A and B are shown apart, each in its own frame.
Chain A
Amino acid sequence: MARDQRNSERELDSLLAAYRDACQAPEATPEFMPALWARIDARQSSFGFLKRWTEGFIAAAAAACLMAVLMQVAPEDNKAVVYQSTYLEALTQDSTPENSIFVDVAAVAYPDQYDSAH
Chain B
Amino acid sequence: MLVDFEIVRKAQAGDAGAFNEVVTAYRRRIMGTVARMINRPEDVEDVAQEVFLRLYYSMDQLRSPEVFEPWLYRLTVNASLDYLRKRRRRGESRMADLSEQQVLMADAAAGTRFSEEESQRAKTREFVESLLSEVSEGDRVLLTLKEVEGLSLKELQSIYDVNESALKVRLFRARQRVLKAFEKSKDAAAKAGLLGKAKAAGQAGGGEVGDED
B-binding residues in A (CB < 8 A): 5, 8-29, 32-33, 35-36, 39-40, 43
Contact = CB atoms under 8 A, between A and B. Distances in A.
A26 B32 contact: yes
B195 A26 contact: no
A83 B120 CA distance: 105
Interface string B143-168: 10001111000000000000000000
Interface stretch (B80-88, B94-102, B196-204): B196-204
Interface residues of B, number: 50
B209 interface: yes
Contacts of B133: none
Contact of A17 (B24, B182, B201): B201
A26 B202 contact: no
Interface string B120-135: 0110110110010000
Interface in B7-58: 20, 23-24, 27-29, 31-32, 35-36, 41, 44-45, 48-49, 52-53, 56-57
For the complex of A and B, 3 pairs with smallest distance between CB atoms: A25-B32, A14-B202, A17-B202
B45 A14 contact: no
B202 A40 contact: no
Interface in B155-213: 178-179, 182-183, 186, 189, 194-195, 197-199, 201-203, 205, 207-210
A8 B179 contact: yes
A23 B147 contact: no
Given A12-B179, A26-B32, A39 B27 contact: no
A28 B202 contact: no
B32 A18 contact: no
Contact of A11 (B32, B125, B199, B207): B199
A16 B195 CA distance: 11
Given A8-B179, A18-B201, A26 B23 contact: no
B207 to A, nearest CB: 8
